[in-house]
Amino acid sequence: MRVVALPNGCNSVVWYKVEVAGKSLPVLTNFDKGRYGVFVFENLGKYLRMDKWNRELLDKYCREYSVGLVGFNPPSEETLVGAQLRGFPLFLHTNLRLRDAALNAASPVLRLTRAGETVRGPLVGEDWSVFSPNHSTYEALEWAVRDWGPEGPPHGGEGEEESDPKRPLITVIQDHGRLDGIERVLFGSGLRFWLHKLLFLDAISYLSHGQLSVSLTRHFLVDIDDIFVGERGTRLTRDDVQALLATQKRLQQMVPGFRFNLGFSGKYFHHGTAEENLGDDMLLENADQFLWFGHMWNHQQPHLYDNITQLEIDMTLNRNFAKEHGIPVDSGYSIAPHHSGVYPVHEPLYEAWKRVWGVRATSTEEYPHLRPARLRRGFIHRNIMVLPRQTCGLFTHTILIERYPGGRAKLDEAIQGGELFQTLAFNPINVFMTHMSNYGNDRLALYTFESVVKFLRCWTNLRLTSAPPLQLGEKYFQMYPEEADPVWGNPCEDARHKRIWSSNKTCEQLPRFLVIGPQKTGTTALYTFLSMHPDISSNFPSPDTFEEIQFFNGKNYYRGLDWYMSFFPVPKNSTARYLFEKSATYFDGDLVPKRVHALLPHAKLVTILISPARRAYSWYQHMRAHGDAVAKNYTFYEVVTASDTSPKNLRELRNRYDPKKGFFCQVTNGDHTKCLGRSKGRQYPPMDERTYKLLQQFYLSHNTALVKLLKRLGSRHVPQWLKDDLSDTVVAP
């Protein structure tokens, strides 16, 4: 049984908790009073057949805290006719084919959804269920009629449906709670039907008394790439530009602030036929009617430029063209052809953008991956906001309806409840990619956007609006501040990313394993010894952090992938088969696992575990050796037993814990040796027994958990230090 429990108090984004349960439910104790706003059952039958104890517990919770319930009736192999839902004066008919859906305009559930006209034609699937109520608590939310197919309804048969083949059948029903004090919305089918996705959002909003509601505002921008680019015969004529202006004017009546956003490559100005060159002129005559952004002067992909100077020259040519022809140059927005250089990041592009254009925002469909589109995200790099970009089904080759994959029916399917409609309906901020060629010829883009906006206005109460890219970027990261931090993925894990990654870069320059710490466990010694092996090469030293790069856990991460890779030798210049790096601070970095997995999904991780008690003592001695006043003035026992009433400096030191040296020295040239520094392997008195016993007890639960983890991972070996630390408290396996 899957129960989706939707917590209260989430207005901007609907958070949820999924419970895959056998006999149990989400914890509904006093601690959870008022915690959940709606319960959603993917299988209505599971709710109806709950055991008495759980059902009474759930119903009591719903009544006491006014929590609603949504249920979906799944497809059934058994065909039911007039089967009563257990415990309710409600009857069910299953496995029907339906058509022509319509909504109850008077229903109080409707919020995002608007009762438009009728969804004509067969509804998806042949396994619909419909409800027949027998109590005033029920109200229809959606109807449809029986789809009898080309043969039509049977004649001379008995039964209600045969007597009135066009009788509306209830496919979604609202229970007002007059029967048992619990409000519900029940669906006779799942979310395959696009209208049900809207109704589901309305249901959880209504049943949570508005606590789980999404905004009704949708921001909408259409980029037109490749202005002045294109082969002869595919470019805009004066008539096309006039149609562009006329459609923009109509869209502005429905979408306040709307203007098409034109991206230009000046090198190709007046490269069309005589009629198309007049179209170029007309675009410039009406430059103030549009938004504008810089493409590349020659439409070249930025990642192909290894020299930032040449990249800046290309951009400057485009900027000069804009100034000469009255095109605004202060939009602060730019797009790279084919999304090249934006992600995976090509650092020279970001630097040149800032210097030449003052770019503060761009967009891409490639972060973190092209598909699925609903998972595209934004990020900020070098103070440039990168917005997720959406596609509308039109690309550079989509210039005639006869060439559209699947024909006009397929395009209309995307517009009328399909992917394009849902993209606009469910994304608060939309930046759409189109191309100049989509606006000439059959003018598919004009038809597409005007049609989808009209369809949205017919079936939703959404408020469409538009704004320049910079404003959209600022609004986006106000809504999703957690996305500002990028997550660098591995370009070699995605074929599309490899194609738009500089040819002088290779994933062979990324480490094969990491030494992740923790500190004061001998990681520097291990780093030194590993580096001696002829097949293994470490990173180059950092002027700031010495042998450690400290990339995944600090500010260095924001310097980007190019910066990180610069610390490793280029494969052609190295004989090492394995690259690695060591940063002891990775061990306890909260963001490190996610970041490492994204960039180095196949890397091995090496960590050194020693007795935590002895590591704490090592840290104390380290601080004494470095002249820390607190460590020199207090014994180790006084430090570890410091209480909340102890002096502040003593508490701060406590909270920072986490015969010869005994190391071999590396032989370098001739008889010369290279040994570890003086701070490594220093000698100090042994820890006193009283302090060791105290720490042994303190770390007992952690050490026990470590033993269990090792066993779960299949390790047959328990380190001797761990056995020793557990010897007086528990029996180590």
Report residue 608 as tokens: 């050194």
Q: In the predicted model, what is the mean pLDDT of the chain?
A: 90
Reported as a pLDDT band with limits 50, 70 and 90, residue 105 is very high
The domain defined by 514-606 folds into Rossmann fold (3.40.50)
In Å, how far are 265, 272, 374, 397, 732 from 277, measured between CA atoms? 14, 6, 39, 21, 84
The rounded distance, in Å, linking the Cα atoms of 415 and 251 is 16
Report residue 475 as tokens: 């609004």
Reported as a pLDDT band with limits 50, 70 and 90, residue 55 is very high
The rounded distance, in Å, linking the Cα atoms of 310 and 158 is 82
Q: Tell which wins on pLDDT, 238 or 733.
A: 238
- The answer to whether residue 12 scores a pLDDT higher than 60 is no
- Provide the terminal-to-terminal Cα distance of the chain, rounded to the nearest Å: 38
- Find, among 336, 228, 330, 211, the residue nearest to 277 by Cα: 228
Q: Tell which wins on pLDDT, 419 or 639.
A: 419
Reported as a pLDDT band with limits 50, 70 and 90, residue 618 is confident
CB 146 within 8 A of CB 129: no
Reported as a pLDDT band with limits 50, 70 and 90, residue 521 is confident
Reported as a pLDDT band with limits 50, 70 and 90, residue 669 is low
Reported as a pLDDT band with limits 50, 70 and 90, residue 11 is very low
Neighbours of 618 (CB within 10 A): 20
Reported as a pLDDT band with limits 50, 70 and 90, residue 402 is confident
Reported as a pLDDT band with limits 50, 70 and 90, residue 97 is very high
- Residue 24 marked in a binding site: no
Reported as a pLDDT band with limits 50, 70 and 90, residue 306 is confident
- The answer to whether residue 30 scores a pLDDT higher than 80 is no
- Find, among 257, 250, 290, the residue nearest to 457 by Cα: 250
- The answer to whether residue 322 scores a pLDDT higher than 60 is yes
Reported as a pLDDT band with limits 50, 70 and 90, residue 158 is very low
191 torsion bin: left (phi>0), alpha (psi -120 to 50), beta (else): alpha
Reported as a pLDDT band with limits 50, 70 and 90, residue 644 is confident
- The answer to whether residue 63 scores a pLDDT higher than 70 is yes
CB 698 within 8 A of CB 585: no
**What's the confidence (pLDDT) of residue 18?**
63
Average pLDDT over residues 500-521: 92
Reported as a pLDDT band with limits 50, 70 and 90, residue 675 is low
**What's the confidence (pLDDT) of residue 33?**
64
- The answer to whether residue 631 scores a pLDDT higher than 90 is no
Least confident range of 24-28, 33-37, 288-292, 459-463: 24-28
In Å, how far are 180, 188, 574, 576 from 508, measured between CA atoms? 65, 54, 11, 11
Least confident range of 327-331, 385-389, 461-465, 643-647: 643-647
Report residue 177 as tokens: 């709670």
CB 115 within 8 A of CB 103: yes
Residue 708 known to be catalytic: no
Q: Give residue-wise pLDDT tens across range 542-578.
A: 988 889 999 999 999 999 999 999 999 998 888 889 9
Average pLDDT over residues 105-110: 98
Average pLDDT over residues 662-668: 49
Q: Which residue has the tokens 């419970």?
A: 19
SS3 279: helix
In Å, how far are 81, 91, 133, 385 from 84, measured between CA atoms? 9, 4, 10, 56
Domain residue ranges in the chain: 2-207, 225-483, 514-606, 612-698
Spot the catalytic one: 520, 604, 674, 680. Answer: 520
Percent of the chain at pLDDT exceeding 70: 90
- Find, among 586, 653, 587, 665, the residue nearest to 626 by Cα: 653
Q: Are strands 513-515 and 578-582 parallel, antiparallel or unpaired?
A: parallel
- The answer to whether residue 663 scores a pLDDT higher than 60 is no
- The answer to whether residue 450 scores a pLDDT higher than 70 is yes
Report residue 560 as tokens: 């980007």
CATH number of this structure's domain 225-483, picked from the four choices 1.10.10.10, 3.20.20.370, 3.30.2350.10, 3.40.50.300 = 3.20.20.370
**What's the confidence (pLDDT) of residue 14?**
57
The rounded distance, in Å, linking the Cα atoms of 186 and 635 is 68
**What's the confidence (pLDDT) of residue 36?**
87
**What's the confidence (pLDDT) of residue 195?**
98
Report residue 448 as tokens: 């597409």
Q: Tell me the DSSP string of 603-622.
A: -EEE-----HHHHHHHHHHH
**What's the confidence (pLDDT) of residue 375?**
93
Percent of the chain at pLDDT exceeding 90: 72
Average pLDDT over residues 661-677: 52
- The answer to whether residue 672 scores a pLDDT higher than 80 is no
Q: What are phi and psi of 437, to 5 degrees?
A: -65, -20
- The answer to whether residue 19 scores a pLDDT higher than 90 is no
Reported as a pLDDT band with limits 50, 70 and 90, residue 655 is confident
Reported as a pLDDT band with limits 50, 70 and 90, residue 722 is very high
- The answer to whether residue 538 scores a pLDDT higher than 80 is yes
- The answer to whether residue 32 scores a pLDDT higher than 90 is no
The rounded distance, in Å, linking the Cα atoms of 543 and 127 is 67
Handedness of CA 73, 74, 78, 79 (dihedral sign): positive
